[in-house]
Amino acid sequence: MHFFNELLGYGGISCETLQASYKPPMEREETSAKKHAKRSGKRLWSHEEDLRLIRHIEAYGKGSWTTLPQKAGLNRNSKSCRLRWMNYLRPDIKHGNFSPEEDDLILRLHRLVENRWSLIAGRVPGRTDSQIKNFWNTRYRGKKHIYSSFITI
DNA sequence: AACACGTACAACCGCATTGGT
DNA sequence: GACCAATGCGGTTGTACGTGT
């Protein structure tokens, strides 16, 4: 939890907001899985990288994503930084399980607009299109017959 | 305790769209 | 209108972790 205290010195983010919304990355060891990740090119964001990104945005705002990685001292591309902020680090994002109300709302909205995740996310406060897409894919993909039987509009 | 398997979700990729010149 | 760069979106892949055997 020291991580949250560390961030409090960088303005604008309350302790409550951070604690509710941020899960620091796991300490990761040099496992075979990590070696494989290196080979495949997929690299999870470290605690330090998150901190750098948050500090930079708190200090200078989002500005241009293309110049942000260099200015913030991040060895990441602009798309990666944007994605990390938009889908994970933004203080207004809710983390944790979807409530039954959210679940129901997503089901209804998906029935209306199908896979327009950003549109659905716009109607579900605190949730991102990515969160909703993941939620849907893990819970309902390939199970349309199950949910369609109990949805009511 | 060790392994296999399934689930959740973070990260990436490719394409589409938007905005500036 | 054409071109290019930046940004946004949805699909897919890979990792971490929980659970069952």
Tell me the CATH number at A122: 1.10.10.60
Q: In this structure, is residue A31 part of a structural domain? A: yes
Half-sphere exposure of A9 (CA within 13 A, CB side): 5
Question: Can you tell me the distance from the alpha carbon of A152 to that of A140, in angstroms, rounded to the nearest whole number?
Answer: 16
Is A49 in the same domain as A80?
A: yes
Please check whether strand B approaches the CB of A62 to within 7 Å. no
Residue A146 buriedness (CB in 10 A; 0-12 / 13-18 / 19+): exposed
Domain that holds residue A111: 100-148
Residues A67 and A130 in one domain: no
Total structural domains in chain A? 2
Q: Which two tokens stand for residue A131?
A: 């969160």
What DSSP line would sit under A25-72, residue for residue?
Answer: PPP----HHHHHHHHHT--PPPHHHHHHHHHHHHHH-S--TTTHHHHH
pLDDT, one tens digit for every residue, chain A (153 residues): 333 334 433 434 443 444 444 454 443 333 434 444 444 567 889 888 999 999 999 888 887 888 899 889 998 989 999 999 999 998 888 888 888 889 999 999 999 998 999 999 999 999 999 999 999 988 887 665 445 544 444
In a domain, A135, yes or no: yes
Residue partners of A148: CB distance under 8 A and separation at least 6: A111
Asked if A84 and A120 sit in the same domain, the reply is: no
Q: Which bases of strand C have any atom within 7 Å of the beta carbon of a protein residue?
A: 5-17
- Do residues A26 and A34 make contact, with C-beta atoms less than 8 angstroms apart? no
CB A132 within 8 A of CB A88: no
Domain co-membership, A14 together with A82: yes
**Quick one: A128 and A69 in the same domain?**
no
Residue A32 CB burial class (10 angstroms; 0-12, 13-18, ≥19):
exposed
CA A10 / C1′ B4 distance in Å: 45
C-beta of residue A50 within 8 angstroms of C-beta of residue A10: no
Using the structure, give the distance in angstroms from the CA atom of A79 to the C1' atom of B13, rounded to a whole number: 11
- Tell me the two tokens of residue A126: 């605190």
